[in-house]
Structure 1
Amino acid sequence: MRYRMTFAVGLAVGYVLGSRAGRERYEQIKRMAQRVADSPRVQEAAGVVGAQVSKAAGAARARVGDTLQQRIPFLSKEHDSGTGWPEEEPHEKKTDKTGIPY
């Protein structure tokens, strides 16, 4: 029983000391990361990378959109009825034997 109590106390002390040291190290890493992120060079590089990604995404979006419009004609603005379905092409109305259009 005495060994269990000693082990539990040792575990608790180790946990408290370890968590305190862990928290201090965490705060140190956090401060260092914030300094790096706030650096003008890093900010400039992030801006350049962001602009390049936006440009590439726009080109890819245009390329995919053009391909889809070629393959799925009702996606183009020319045939947009607002319903998502193509408008019917104008054609002569067909009639049955009675002359009623269908």
Structure 2
Amino acid sequence: MSKLSFLAGAAVGYVLGARAGTQRYEQIKTQANKVWSSEPVQTKVSQATDAAKTKAAPFVADVVSDAAKATASKLRDVKDSVGGEKDEDLPPTLHRGTDGKLHPEHNFGPGPGKLP
């Protein structure tokens, strides 16, 4: 949030500086750097960073962990379905060949001689 505010301020400073000339732009840039580098601003930035790490990290870790478990479960189901144990679950457009691999059916469409 603070970086976004800083970037917005920098963009406004750039526009104002470009209109006022290079010298004014340099003045605005110098002031912006002083404010950003000031102790109170850096203290707040540090506090916000620490808060984000301590409060958001466990939440993000839980969400990622749950998503990974759900994805692994889905992949296991797909593997079982494709692995030959559940061929009846295959869509009608796929069949298992004599080589054990899945092959698409080629008997779809309007048929030979029926195209415009």
TM-score, scaled relative to structure 2: 0.43
The structure number with the bigger radius of gyration is: 1
More strand by share: 2
